Chains A and B, each alone.
Chain A
């Protein structure tokens, strides 16, 4: 009888049930999409923040001081220590390798440029552009094109990492009036200019070339001066700032397994022999603050979204129940108790919430994907774990929304209800 009551109520009141169901579906859709966006926004903004540049710098452990003003290197080129290029792929073997979005080795060397009987001393910067690197079975591409996204080739193309083509900084190119496709003489080598580079920084006065060329110029194959590493990190907290040497076992494990800039730097030092890794504070410190603000903002907005959808659901439920006073009167007149009346409504509410929740979850997933694709050009993935959570929330909100209306309904006097005098 109970099941028939609920079934018939759905069969005969299709329009009203559809209305309430639509409200629940819409509420759940918005809630799902916002929760998905809120849980993923940290990662997405973190990736956008990587456009500000690398946040970690690896240098040789026993290095002499850098003597550099305005991008002009005044240190004797063979002076100081180097890192071994062959060690770099090991960066992909660190604990947080999935958080490392790219790295670029740098080797600045001094060269002289001869052109039109003029000789100019300048810096040639050897680096990776988009180099294929393999570590174990994994292959990946890394270089300045991913770690330094504000570097732009204004004419021509990026050189191949295995070629000996070079890029000329835009101010340098203007000064020596060189264009894409020209050949320039650098320390006795005839090299093709594959493009003009614009960075807004010191590189505008330099020559940028594949790293092998820079190594050849100073006659030291396989060396690099420093490595810029771009990593997705977690905002620093009190634990992050502690010295790992002073930590006890479990605290140390927690520190090591959190993607703080400090712990990733520590792990880089572990895999690259004789190295010193340090966070670049200008980038690393500030991105934590920006990230916290944006995450906090979206979190609060998500709360507002949840509130609005909860209200929409409860408003729809209250209206749906209020419209059925006559049914309640009839049931009561036929001898149904308060529990029986309430349980019919609660069963209906649960059914509506589950159906609306399922449809809404599906629609919310699509909506979140759409938001991810159109705003961040990447997928927002929704963990399937979210489905039971969303369904539970939908049922609870529907219950809460109907509770007041159901209480009123069970307390209804059947006489008044049947005469329609309420």
Chain B
């Protein structure tokens, strides 16, 4: 059966009313914001600030661990490889460690022997790669690094013993003699002060001893470092792989406490910001009880009214969240630059969180006053009582 003419006309009319409804709805949304610019702007501002602060803190919170870990790598090695039962490491151990790490840290080999000075005093001599040590042990205070063969870096306490007048000196090890010139002095306040450091080429040529220790400053989380240690054990069966517990445990403690503090601060700040948005928006909606009353007097249904205020709030929340997100990423990057000298990378996973959060807060701020107003007769509101 074909639809009669009157039926199709009614459909068209209904469609028109619907269209008019939609456009009217949009118009009211936009005009409401434009006409009350001041109040709408202050509500938007509160949302933007809250979203920006939340974004910045969440970004920082997820990034600060990586940033601080980098600072902790300046403490030097967190993994040490030594030959089993005092033996030397295999000659290719350094290359193996390097390829296992694949850029996830800094490595330096050390070979140690006890040599004798020309007047027979025992002294510890270490062979190491100076370029690597500069990367690994940044706290070494060195007057000038050796650059040529047969140059030695001398510990501050060893200096008066072997080369008080900065002259060249001889060392002997099992009858072999090496002639060294002092290049500079190293001061660390620890065992290094009593030692003499030479390049690995000189060391092996002189003593015939391969490096016995490889120090590794691996980057990453505790799990990643444990994985690296496991891989190293697999790659070099002749070595014993040990964590430097003092560094690993200290780092974990300090990082844990810092993150916990930051988390507490973040929670407090986001709570405050959310309450700020809530109170501003509630004031705004409450302020518009006349609009509400007029719409109701003109016959708007509760559903339409709820929808209108909810749509307004959600639009405000979404706009505020997006602007706030951009601002917050900027703030986090700025804090990263000022404090850690490296920008905090923006995390887009934070965006849905901030978006959902601010829409929930703004919706709540709209719904609470509306449910209060619904119980009041429009006439009472319009009379200003």
| Chain A residues near B64 (CB-CB < 8 A) | 297
Which listed segment binds A: B9-17, B18-26, B183-191, B231-239? B183-191
A and B contact pairs by CB, cutoff 8 A, 12 listed: A23-B276, A52-B246, A52-B247, A201-B245, A281-B141, A293-B340, A296-B339, A300-B339, A305-B272, A308-B269, A326-B384, A375-B264
| Chain A residues near B261 (CB-CB < 8 A) | 37, 41, 298, 371, 375
- If over half of B's interface residues share one DSSP class (helix, strand or loop), that class is named, otherwise mixed; here it is helix
Interface status of B333 (Cβ within 8 A of chain A) = no
Which listed segment binds B: A62-70, A333-341, A392-400? A62-70
Complex Cα–Cα for A420 and B246 (A): 71
Known interface pairs A65-B194, A371-B261; 17 further A-B residue pairs with C-beta atoms within 8 A, sorted by A's residue number: A37-B265, A65-B124, A67-B123, A70-B86, A150-B249, A201-B246, A280-B188, A281-B140, A282-B75, A294-B68, A297-B258, A298-B265, A304-B269, A308-B269, A309-B272, A318-B280, A375-B260
- If over half of A's interface residues share one DSSP class (helix, strand or loop), that class is named, otherwise mixed; here it is helix
Which residues of B pack against A, CB within 8 Å?
Answer: 42, 46, 49-50, 53, 56-57, 60, 64, 67-68, 71-72, 74-76, 82, 86, 112-114, 121-124, 137, 139-141, 157-158, 161, 187-191, 193-194, 212-213, 242-247, 249-251, 253-254, 257-258, 260-262, 264-266, 268-269, 271-273, 275-276, 279-280, 282-283, 286-287, 290, 331, 335, 338-340, 384
Interface status of A286 (Cβ within 8 A of chain B) = yes
Complex Cα–Cα for A286 and B340 (A): 14
The answer to whether B53 touches A307 (Cβ under 8 A) is yes
In A305-320, the 8 Å CB interface with B consists of 305, 307-309, 311-312, 315-316, 318-319
Complex Cα–Cα for A367 and B265 (A): 11
Complex Cα–Cα for A26 and B72 (A): 36
Complex Cα–Cα for A371 and B190 (A): 37
Interface status of A225 (Cβ within 8 A of chain B) = no
Complex Cα–Cα for A45 and B272 (A): 26
| Chain B residues near A75 (CB-CB < 8 A) | 122
Interface status of A48 (Cβ within 8 A of chain B) = yes
Nearest CB on B from A47, distance (A): 10
The answer to whether A308 touches B76 (Cβ under 8 A) is no
The answer to whether B249 touches A315 (Cβ under 8 A) is no
Nearest CB on B from A294, distance (A): 5
| Chain B residues near A289 (CB-CB < 8 A) | 71, 74
The answer to whether B161 touches A293 (Cβ under 8 A) is no
Given the interface contacts A304-B53, A312-B273, A319-B279, does A282 sit within 8 Å of B245 by beta carbon?
A: no
The answer to whether B114 touches A67 (Cβ under 8 A) is yes
The answer to whether A290 touches B254 (Cβ under 8 A) is yes
Given the interface contacts A318-B42, A322-B287, does A301 sit within 8 Å of B276 by beta carbon?
A: no
Complex Cα–Cα for A276 and B68 (A): 33
The answer to whether B250 touches A45 (Cβ under 8 A) is no
Of chain A, the residue at the smallest CB distance from B68 is: A293
